[in-house]
């Protein structure tokens, strides 16, 4: 019954994406790219050439990925590295679906990746004698997105950290991100911003914590946790432990990671990335450096996003 329920949910999701594709007026020229990128990603991934470079150990890109999304992962990494010129170690926090064969396939195409297997890293964290109990509890009970937040503090030694969802593609040189990584920015963190001035996202911390860091009036509630850039040297385990101690949100809550980043960024000098240059909505235009194809807009990523990212990379290499 569980398997049937999952299959029904999957069919409904596919139907939603196709319906949105048609409702938004994406005509026949988009149908084959959509089918190709949506349903043949695994096959296409195997045909990719090896993407190797000498990685900068002081820079890491942390992402969350499941087995079915490795085609999106491939182009998130390729578009960012090729267009930015930055050479990060890519740390993949997997959800339990990536088996050894898939991991070996990823390593064969992207040698500068490191896969954090959920079961394995959970055991390591729970066995750490000096790690606060509240952090272990969060990892044990948490929605799997929390693995990325905790993993950054427990395992990472890089000076600069980029948190990126797999449904993000780059099309132009991200000068703001490059300047930050190269210590040419006057802030401690950068984050993608939600659109508009009305936001329903609530930071569910207790009053003492909210008052201490001015959370009730802080614009950080407009963040989108899918793309965050931080100077890791401005944060430590005490920050994470304090947040876990004072949040009233269940560790199993879908938004636990995004709230965690919001509360930590509120304590430093952060800046929002331009929503016009680092965009969510709208067809790709000349102002957009990056587009985040969030779940309701995922059909755009398959219909044109990936293929346009590939063309942007080729144009850059031929300059």
Tell me: pLDDT of 318 over 60: no
Average pLDDT, the chain: 94
Q: Which pLDDT score is estimated for 1?
A: 59
Strand-pair partners of 159: none
Q: Which pLDDT score is estimated for 28?
A: 94
Alpha-carbon distance of 21 to 202, in angstroms, equals 31
Alpha-carbon distance of 35 to 182, in angstroms, equals 39
Q: Which pLDDT score is estimated for 11?
A: 81
What is the pTM assigned to this prediction? 0.95
Nearest to 34 by CA among 298, 295, 289, 296: 298
DSSP-derived secondary structure letter, 249: S
Alpha-carbon distance of 102 to 108, in angstroms, equals 10
Q: Any residues with CB less than 8 A from the CB of 160 and at least 6 apart, and which? A: 58, 59, 60, 180, 181, 229, 230, 231, 232
Instruction: Give the CA count within 13 Å in the CB-facing half-sphere of 214.
Output: 8
**pLDDT tens string 15-66:** 888 899 988 889 999 999 999 999 999 999 999 999 999 999 999 999 999 9
Tell me: pLDDT of 319 over 80: no
DSSP-derived secondary structure letter, 247: B
Alpha-carbon distance of 96 to 118, in angstroms, equals 6
**pLDDT tens string 269-295:** 999 999 999 999 899 999 999 999 998
What are the chain's domains? 45-279 (3.90.550.10)
């Amino acid at each position: 019954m569980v398997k049937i329920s999952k299959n029904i949910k999957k069919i409904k999701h596919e139907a939603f994406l196709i319906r949105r594709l048609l409702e938004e007026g994406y005509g026949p020229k988009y149908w084959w790219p959509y089918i190709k990128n949506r349903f043949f990603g695994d096959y296409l991934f195997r045909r990719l050439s090896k993407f190797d470079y000498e990685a900068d150990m002081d820079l890491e890109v942390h992402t969350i990925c499941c087995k079915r999304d490795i085609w999106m992962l491939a182009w998130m990494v390729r578009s960012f590295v090729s267009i930015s010129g930055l050479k990060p170690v890519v740390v993949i926090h997997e959800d339990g679906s990536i088996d050894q064969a898939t991991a070996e396939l990823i390593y064969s195409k992207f040698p500068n990746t490191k896969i954090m297997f959920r079961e394995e890293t959970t055991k390591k964290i729970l066995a750490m004698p000096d790690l606060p109990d509240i952090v272990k509890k969060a990892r044990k009970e948490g929605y799997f997105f929390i693995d990325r937040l905790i993993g950054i503090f427990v395992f990472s030694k890089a000076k600069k950290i980029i948190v990126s969802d797999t449904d993000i593609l780059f099309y132009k040189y991200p000068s703001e991100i490059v300047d930050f990584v190269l210590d040419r920015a006057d802030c401690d963190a950068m984050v993608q911003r939600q659109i508009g001035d009305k936001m329903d996202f609530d930071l569910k911390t207790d009053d003492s914590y909210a008052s201490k860091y001015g959370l009730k009036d802080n614009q950080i509630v407009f963040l989108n946790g899918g793309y965050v850039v931080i100077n890791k040297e401005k944060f430590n385990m005490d920050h994470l432990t304090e947040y876990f101690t004072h949040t009233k949100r269940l560790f199993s809550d879908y938004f636990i990671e995004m709230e965690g980043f919001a509360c930590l960024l509120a304590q430093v000098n952060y800046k929002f990335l331009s929503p016009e240059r680092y965009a969510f909505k709208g067809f790709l235009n000349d102002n957009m450096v990056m587009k985040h194809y969030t779940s309701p807009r995922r059909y755009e990523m398959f219909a044109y996003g990936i293929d346009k990212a590939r063309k942007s990379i080729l144009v850059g290499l031929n300059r």
